[in-house]
Structure 1
Amino acid sequence: MSVIASQEDVQSIWRSADAVCFDVDSTVLEDEGLDELAEFCGVGLEVREWTKRAMGGNVSFREALTARLKIVNPSHQKITEFIKHHDVRFTPGIKELVAKLQSRGTEVYLVSGGFHSIIEPAAKGLNIPTQNIFANKLKFYYKGEFAGFDENQPTSDSGGKGLVVKQLKERFGYKKLVFVGDGVTDMEACPPADAFIGFGGNVIRSSVKEKAAWFVMSFQELISELDKAS
């Protein structure tokens, strides 16, 4: 893993980015989707411990994902109820930031270790098309019982976010793709991302704060930087 040399370099790429990938949990949204689902299913505390381990980079992402889902064991009905009753809590400034990027012709993606069905309402609220969501997919048996997750999705394992970035660059020829996120798995996507911006507005991961060339505490900082280019 290598992070671009200086804050100025990152800011320069940010001001002229042709694509931006945002992490979702604790970045675009104030909370962690799987933790919230676990809370809804009555096993919040147990699952939060695993999330901390996963985000700190102490266990492989897939191992943590498997363990957490085993505890939650969500049926299709439970997921539907959760989506219906759970309010989408956007991080302050994200709606303005995404709208600003889109008005400049910058393509915006959501790349998450969370779940497609849970992220869709957030994407809708940001006017991001569903085909721009790269996330995990839950599997269910015929009667709706939980059957695991699709292990073919790149985001289901460590290094998966980097794989998504690589595929996007190959497919669309992006030259200045920026990844914005709070976690180690986000930072690991650069390279192949051309720049990484660490986000600490909801939670500060010490390893990300130490290693990111540019670490911001609010989306307003990113909006202000874009304003310099206009």
Structure 2
Amino acid sequence: MKAPPATHVIFDFDQTLVNHESTLEIVKSAIADSPNAQVTLEQLNLIVPKALSGQANIRELLYLMKTLACVRKHHVHRYTQAIIGNLDPALVQTLHNLQQEGTQVHILSGGYTEWIAPIAHSLNINAQDVKANRLFWAGSRAVCPRPSPLINPSRGKSKIVRQWRKNGRLQGSVLMVGDAGSDHQVYADGWVDGFVCADYYTTQPMPEMSGHILRADSPKQVYPHLQALMRALP
């Protein structure tokens, strides 16, 4: 028996739809020719995961903002062109299947709209269904992040989904797919009905969790797990 389609499925981006932290990849490209590139990268490898989990301190966040100022629009373009058409085929098929069933697909990320939205567009996900941080720009040069709840995604994601629920944007069943504590928190706070934990790219899997949760060890498991969660909903 085929599961009824979810009304909404919200996907994380980093380590869920792509196999890396997109912000780190963009900054790596931007500082590649810097004489201090190696030292900066070592710092960023420590700071970016902490920032995305809401555990970075003010000093670390300021360091990250400083490196974001190295980003130019051509770095963003180069990154998006490298990613478009190269996502895991199982994930692309999952998104296609959901869309064919009439499911509304969203992306909610602590990354940045400037590079997530073009990739989402290539997957037939509308820009209004992508919620992420944004940058201030001076011409082609990034300046700093705009104010956003997603600067601290550990609480910001839950805050945004709560707002979507309350303003009627999310009606019916809602499932979440992601690899991090910030994604699980949306479920733990009761704003989504089920959670697919994406274990297939992350090097730091989430601890054991209880509830309406299934763990995907490969991209191929995401779609059947979504179907199984929908079947189990009351």
* Alignment correspondent of 2:23: 34
- Is 2:123 the counterpart of 1:126? yes
Task: Give me the whole-angstrom Cα distance separating, in 2, the residues matched to 1:81 and 1:101.
Answer: 28
SS in 2 for 1:100: helix
Quick check: 1:162–1:193 contact (8 Å CA) kept in 2? no
Task: Give me the whole-angstrom Cα distance separating, in 2, the residues matched to 1:200 and 1:34.
Answer: 20
Task: Give me the whole-angstrom Cα distance separating, in 2, the residues matched to 1:109 and 1:66.
Answer: 29
Stretch of structure 1 that moved more, 129-138 or 65-74? 65-74
Change (3 A) 1:113 1:55: closer
* Alignment correspondent of 2:14: 25
- Is 2:84 the counterpart of 1:95? no
Alignment RMSD, CA only?
2.8
Q: Deviations over 1:21-44 (max 9, x none)?
A: 000011011121111112102243
Q: What's the TM-score once normalised by structure 2's chain length?
A: 0.78
- Is 2:50 the counterpart of 1:53? yes
Task: Give me the whole-angstrom Cα distance separating, in 2, the residues matched to 1:147 and 1:185.
Answer: 26
* Alignment correspondent of 2:200: 201
Query: What amino acid sits opposite 1:166 in the alignment?
Result: R
Task: Give me the whole-angstrom Cα distance separating, in 2, the residues matched to 1:99 and 1:17.
Answer: 14
1:119 CA drift (Å): 0.6
Query: What amino acid sits opposite 1:19 in the alignment?
Result: H
1:177 CA drift (Å): 0.9
Q: What's the TM-score once normalised by structure 1's chain length?
A: 0.79
SS in 1 for 2:98: helix
1:56 CA drift (Å): 5.8
Quick check: 2:7–2:171 contact (8 Å CA) kept in 1? yes
Change (3 A) 1:80 1:173: closer
- Is 2:144 the counterpart of 1:148? yes
Query: What amino acid sits opposite 1:137 in the alignment?
Result: R
* Alignment correspondent of 1:6: none
Query: What amino acid sits opposite 1:156 in the alignment?
Result: I
Change (3 A) 1:63 1:132: farther
Q: Deviations over 1:41-98 (max 9, x none)?
A: 22433211112334566436x8755432323423444544544654344234111101
Quick check: 1:57–1:184 contact (8 Å CA) kept in 2? no
